[in-house]
Amino acid sequence: MSDTMDIHAILRNLPHRYPFLLVDRVLECIPGERIRAIKNVTINEPFFPGHFPHHPVMPGVLIVEALAQAAAVLSFRTMNEQPDDGSVVYLAGIDGARFKRPVTPGDQLLLEVSITRRMREVYKFACTASVDGQRAAECEIMCVRRPID
């Protein structure tokens, strides 16, 4: 079963908050399989004044972070749980990151993440981010859920 999520549902399924929440809407989430989400990129993002003042570009590391946040939503939906104060999903690894085109204010970043492997609370994902059908970034990421001491 596929479901969509507005910002209120995303806030229930991710512990991130402004200015670090990088998922605005979930278009499709099939627990155990894949998620499609969007990040609306605006000139009001807190990183643009410094990256770069004369030509604003979304940092690649934040594109990967947006993909990781979409992966975390997929992880929680797959486990049929929501984040709590007792655990956190960490980004544990990034492989094969490639950046194909700049992401600039006004772009809508489509985040597509698929589970490729799951072992207990460790997940591996294939990830792509695109703008208007053009691939902006791709990578494989690994996330792990850990208790907070």
The one catalytic residue in 8, 16, 51, 55 is 51
**Is 51 an annotated catalytic residue?**
yes
> What residue ranges in 46-85 does DSSP mark as E strands?
none
- What is the number of other CB atoms lying within 10 angstroms of the CB of residue 54? 4
Is 41 in contact with 111 (CB distance < 8 Å)?
no
What's the distance, CA 106 to chain centroid? 18
Smallest Cα–Cα separation from 142: which of 128, 125, 129?
A: 125
Residues paired with 122 in a beta bridge = 119, 144
**Catalytic amino acids?**
51
